[in-house]
Amino acid sequence: MKTDAIDLQAKLASFEGHWQPRTVSEFNGHDVMVVKVQGEYSWHSHPESDDFFLVLKGELHIDIEGSPTVILKPGQLYVVPRGVRHRPRAVQEAQLLLIEPTGTPNSGDAATAAPRRVI
């Protein structure tokens, strides 16, 4: 059993690049991840799971097909329901905490997903 606290800011400082989530822990079959984002990600959906976003730093816009854009500031979270097409984007770099079932492709498609990275 691990007894060390996970320092999310230290984990985020340990890598460069955007839209490349890093797993920092596992929770009941889910990856707990941190990611840096900037610019637009592609429109996509997750047919098998919801998509959890918690903003740690910066501002995240989540465009939702057929609905108004969700705007998140630090300390705010949003869960995109399974199967709903969405596009996350950030004008300036934002830092997020994500929780997804282990093995869920971040793009909704295993062929275009970022590889799983554990730090």
Contact 101, 49 (CB under 8 A): yes
In this structure, is residue 115 part of a structural domain?
no
- Structural domains in the chain (count): 1
Residue-wise pLDDT tens for the chain (119 aa)? 677 899 999 999 999 999 999 999 999 999 999 999 999 999 999 888 999 999 999 999 999 999 999 999 999 999 999 999 999 999 999 999 999 988 776 656 666 666 677 78
User: What CATH number should be reported for the domain holding residue 62?
Assistant: 2.60.120.10
Q: Rounded to whole angstroms, how far apart are CA atoms 19 and 106?
A: 9
In this structure, is residue 2 part of a structural domain?
no
Predicted local distance difference test score (pLDDT) of residue 43: 94
* Amino acid occupying residue 99: I
In this structure, is residue 117 part of a structural domain?
no
Predicted local distance difference test score (pLDDT) of residue 112: 62
Predicted local distance difference test score (pLDDT) of residue 110: 63
- Domain of residue 81 covers 8-101
DSSP-assigned letter for residue 114: P
In this structure, is residue 1 part of a structural domain?
no
